Structures are given as C-alpha cells and as structure tokens.
Structure 1
Amino acid sequence: MTTTAVGVAAKIKLAVNIGNTLEATGGETAWGNPMITQDLVNKYKSLGFDAIRLPCSWDQYADKTTAKISATWLDRVKVVVQYCINADLYVVLNIHWDGGWLENHVDDASKDAVAAKQKAFWEQIATHLRDFDERLIFASANEPAADKATQMNALNAYHQTFVNAVRATGGKNAYRVLVVQAPSTNTEYAVSLWTNMPTDTAANRLMFEIHYYAPSQLTVITTDQSWGKMFYYWGKNNHSTIEPDRNATWGEEDYVDQQMQAMKTHFVDKGIPVIMGEFGCWRKTTPLDLVKHNASVTYWNKYVAQQALANGLMPFLWDTGSLIDRTTLAVKDQDILDALLTVAGKK
C-alpha cells in the first residue's frame, strides 16, 4: 500500500468500464449482459487494458431501515474484484447511480440523511474488501447532480463522509487510493464550482474524477431533442456534405484541447491525478454518410483519449458490450480498440 495516487495514476494508460452489469437495477444480468467472469476480465487484460471500473449498485441489495447490505451481494462483488486482481488489473469500485439516492439529492435539505447512508454503505463495502492491495481503488459516487455553488456544501459533505468512513475501517484502507467526483463529473463545473479536495488522514492518496461526453448530441442522445438535433459527423476532416445539418457545431478538437488542459492546470499540475471515469462514442446506423460517420466515431474516441493522456488524465472507456461481446469474448469494434491502443502506446 505504499504507492501514492500519482504513482498509481502512472500505471494506468488505458482502462474500461464493465457497464450495465453490477449497477443494473434488478440484478447483474437484468440489462442484458451476462454475469462477469474471470475469462472476460482476462480478455480485457490481454487486449491491453490496465484497469477496470466497476459501476456498482448497493441500495437495491440493502435493508431500507438498517442500510445493511446483503452478505450475498457483498460476496459477489468481492469475487469480481478478485477476478481483476487475479488478472493484475487496477480496479475502481464505486457507488453508481443506485436509484439516485445520492446522485439526485445533492442539496442541504437531503444532506444529513444522504450522508448517513453514504457512511453506512462505505463502512460495509470497505470492511468487506479491506484486505485487497493497492490495486483496488474506491470511488465515492458516480455523477452527483450538482451544477450550482449552493449545492457544493452537500457534495463536499458526501465526499468527506466517504473518505472518513473508508479510513475508519483501518487496515489497508488507511492507505488506499480514493476517488471523489466533480459536480456532475463535468469538466466545466470542475473549474467553476470545485474549491478543495476532502481532508484525508493519508497523504497523497486522493484522485479526482470527471466524465467526458461532449458534444452530447454525438455521444449520448439517440433521437433529436427540442434543444438540439443529433450530430453524426465530428472532427476537422469528417464533416459531411450529404447531411450538413448533422455536422457538429461545437465540442470539436479545440474544445477537447481546452477542457483537458483545464484539468491539467487545475488538478494534475497540483499533484491531484484525474480519472476520466467515463468517455465513449458509439456508432449509429441511421446516418446517410456512413463512411464519414464511422470515421467520426473512431476519431472522437481516439482524439479524446489522446488528449486526456497528453494532459495526464486516465481514460476509462464506457462500454456496455459494444467493444467486446461479453459472451463470446470476440472484439466487436476493432477500429475503436486499435485507435485507443495506439494513443496509449500499446500498439
């Protein structure tokens, strides 16, 4: 447990989420993915990934009165963490959306009740997983929905509660690397709203987390919205003359450069490693100019990962089964995989 957060960060060049699985409402397979196996984890390792993020749900497995988490679920998560350790991967375990009990209640009115649950859950999680070495990293939350300065008091309280709860369980947890999330894990709010990291009894063991999906018209939405249409084409050489109204109008290379540089200036350069805990853009079938669209998607993933790495961030691809077939373990998108391996210096 001797490696600092900066030291751990130096060992993670490319990472991936096993999404829509342990955090799935209704159980691990409820959203269509099979249970996580050692073979799946080994596959990620063999492809060149250094770490796995495990989005995880807890509230659905907990007693609503006592906040006691099911021993069966704690054991299942421990098994999956062990798969990652067996493969010599770093593993980031969080409390994900989890019904929104924290994520959607970042406010002073909810603060005491949410902090109490945060404390109860992390005491149990940390105690159950206390004996894993420094390759296991805990993350306070997922995307705490905060976009105003008035919400920062509550968010800071939730993160401080997390740090205190984990440290109090002792053993290896006294030194474990811990991750706290920017308001809404948004790069702009990380600059405009974040003021300070939690206090910590361990020196140099904290990381900061942002997610990156800009522009959301390309990466997130799957139907046109009242506030904007889907983008299909992104990047300096990938705009389409067939569907010019689907070309990105913001969030292209200059914006990526600006946001990643801001994370370096405000955090990395101050000795606070930054996890880009989620990023990703996947292919659509509806574009009329599929060649340009597919080039755009590959390029977005490559460029965002490249600029993250250039500024000292750790990129964790958000994947729910589009990169690797979770059953057959076949690579489903070799172009995106090759692009990521190339910028991470692994190909």
Structure 2
Amino acid sequence: MREQGGYNASRALLISGFVTDIDRTCVGDFKVPTDPAGTKSLFLSIHYYTPYTFCGLDTVESWGSPKTTWGTDAEKAELKGLFDRLGAFSAERSIPVILGEFAVTPGEKYPREPASRRLWMQSVVEAARSRGIVPVLWDTGSEIKRTDGSFSTEWQAVMDAVDP
C-alpha cells in the first residue's frame, strides 16, 4: 500500500480487527503490522453490535431470539467490560481505535423500544469516548431522512445528549 505513490506513503490506514469484533481482536494472536510511515498512521477498526439479539436480530433463530429492550445491570456491565478490554488492548499495542460502526436497528418484526435504543447508543458513545475511541454511528437505513438529512428521534436524542 505504502509503495503505490501519491499520499499512500503517509495516509492513515485502518487495520481491521479479527471479524472487527472486540473479543476476537483483543487476543495475543492479533499483531499490529509494522508500518514504514510509523505508528501514528495506523488505527484499529472495530465494529460493535453487542448484543446482536438486541442490535440487529429481527427473526427467531436457533441460536437466539430478538430482544426489544436493553439496559439491565448485566447488559451495561457487559458493554463496560468489553470497552475496558478494548481500551487496555489499544494502550498495550499503542494503536488508537476507531469504532467504525455501531448501531441498533429500530426493528420491523420486533420493534426496539425507543428508550432502550437511545440508552444503548448513548452508552456506546460514552464508553468509547471515555477511552479515547472514536465512535462512528452507523445508519442502518432508517436513521437519516434522505430528503432533508434530519435524524430519527432516537439518533437526535443521542446527538443532543453527548458533549461535542
């Protein structure tokens, strides 16, 4: 990549974690590549959809059923634990993290409770930012109105709640 000319010699590069998953990436086998541009040009890219039964599942499957709410103490503890692990991994490997995707769908067959959606999104933003991780909220197809660029009610509430 670096030898292709132009700005490629110094541009920032995203290095995907294993399956872009926190648990699968924050392991001893994950190695940050050596970069001729130096360590300041590499970023670890992670996605976050945990628990998927709440964030994206909209049909009953053999491995789980859709959940319409989120926010129990155990669920909050799981989020905190995963982000603690990711933050420590980032510090150990000296590589900053971009949370390149995170979202929770509104759900069609199993509509998600709006308050739970807001709480989950805000909790992820706060967990990421408190650990120096850049969060990128992912539009699942219904969060941004294509005619005027306005956000869904849940997205707007999250944007209003987090500090700039």
Q: TM-score, normalised by structure 1?
A: 0.44
How many residues align structurally?
A: 163
Compute the displacement of 1:216 (Å).
0.6
Is the 2:59–2:109 Cα contact (8 Å) retained in structure 1? no
- 1:318 pairs with one of 119, 122, 138: 138
2:54 equivalent among 172, 197, 218: 218
Q: Is contact 1:182-1:194 (8 Å) kept?
A: no
> Out of 96, 99, 118, which is 1:276 matched to?
99
Instruction: Provide the alpha-carbon RMSD of the alignment.
Output: 2.1
Give the whole-Å Cα distance in 1 for the aligned partners of 2:84 and 2:10: 29
Instruction: Quote the residue 2:21 is aligned against.
Output: 186
Could you tell me which amino acid in structure 2 is paired with residue 258 of structure 1?
Answer: G
Name the larger-Rg structure. Answer: 1
Higher RCO, Cα 8 Å, sep 6+: 2
Please list, as runs of the form range in 1=range in 2, the aligned pairs for 1:155-234 lying within 5 A after superposition: 166-192=1-27, 194-204=29-39, 205-234=41-70
In the alignment, structure 1 residue 339 sits paired with structure 2 residue 162: no
1:306 and 2:126 aligned: yes
The structure 1 segments of at least 4 consecutive aligned residues displaced by more than 6 Å after TM superposition are none
Q: In structure 2, do the counterparts of structure 1 residues 342 and 208 end up closer, same or farther at CA, with 3 Å as the change threshold? A: same
State whether residues 174 and 202 of structure 1, in contact with CA within 8 Å, keep that contact through their aligned partners in structure 2: yes
User: How far apart are the structure 2 equivalents of 1:183 and 1:193?
Assistant: 12
Greater displacement, 216-225 / 331-340: 331-340
> What percentage of aligned pairs have identical amino acids?
30
**Structure 1 position 305, deviation (Å):** 1.3
Q: Deviations over 1:29-54 (max 9, x none)?
A: xxxxxxxxxxxxxxxxxxxxxxxxxx
- Determine the C-alpha separation between the residues in 1 that align with 2:30 and 2:95: 13
The answer for unaligned runs of 5 or more in structure 2 is none
Shift of 1:330: 4.0
CA gap of 1:170–1:286, structure 2 versus 1, over 3 A, is: closer
Shift of 1:192: 2.4
Counterpart position of 1:235: 71
Question: Is the 1:301–1:340 Cα contact (8 Å) retained in structure 2?
Answer: no
Amino acid of the residue matched to residue 339 of structure 1? V
TM-score (norm 2): 0.88
CA–CA distance in 2 between the matches of 1:297 and 1:337? Answer: 12
